[in-house]
Amino acid sequence: MSQSSMNIFIKIQLYGIGALKAKIMRHLAPITIDKFLQKLPLVLRGRFSFKSKKYWTLPGVEIFKGLNESAISDLEKGDIVYNPKTDEILIILEDQNFPNKVNKMGEVVSDLSPILKARNGLSTKISQLQTVKSS
């Protein structure tokens, strides 16, 4: 089975609050995801979108890869996306139409409620859990 058909599971640790489990699907944005995986483990300070809790953002990822051919602007709750315009990872907390297109990387597979307890500036660590071949 080729590496492009693999799912990569990650843990998103919100210090002092809890953790989320997510699935990164390499086939969605292979170049962006390869760059992202090279940076793991990654610790960044997260914050909510301005004046709302529509998404949790982790700015300053330093991936610097542009949009891929399957970039989207219609986002669903639980999506994990990379915004090349602002070089940040976003965890989407409610369905929305984003103002610009972004690269979808995967989705949160656990409950999102721990992230709603977070405060702006909270250290967030992303690390790889395991690799499981998809069928």
Q: Is residue 135 part of a domain?
A: no
Helix (H), strand (E) at residue 19: strand 18-25
- Average the pLDDT over 96-116 and give the result: 96
Which two three-digit tokens encode residue 25? 């699907």
pLDDT at position 50: 81
SS3 category, 113: helix
Q: Is residue 7 part of a domain?
A: yes
pLDDT of residue 3 exceeding 60, the answer is: no
Share of the chain above pLDDT 90, in %: 81
Cα distance between residue 8 and residue 23, in whole Å: 6
- Average the pLDDT over 34-48 and give the result: 95
Report pLDDT digits (tens) over 59-91: 999 998 888 888 999 999 999 999 999 999 999
Q: Is residue 8 part of a domain?
A: yes
pLDDT of residue 131 exceeding 70, the answer is: no
Q: Is residue 42 part of a domain?
A: yes
Pick the closest to residue 129 from 104, 110, 102, 111 (CA basis): 110
Q: Is residue 85 part of a domain?
A: yes
pLDDT of residue 108 exceeding 70, the answer is: yes
pLDDT at position 128: 95
Cα 82 to Cα 10, 18, 41, 70, 117: the distances in Å are 15, 22, 16, 12, 23
Going by C-beta distance under 8 Å and a sequence separation of 6 or more, which residues neighbour residue 50?
A: none
Give the structural domain span for 37: 3-129
Q: Is residue 86 part of a domain?
A: yes
Whichever domain contains 40, its CATH number is 2.40.100.20
pLDDT at position 51: 77
Specify the number of domains making up the chain.
Answer: 1
CA 9 to chain centre: 11
Q: Is residue 134 part of a domain?
A: no
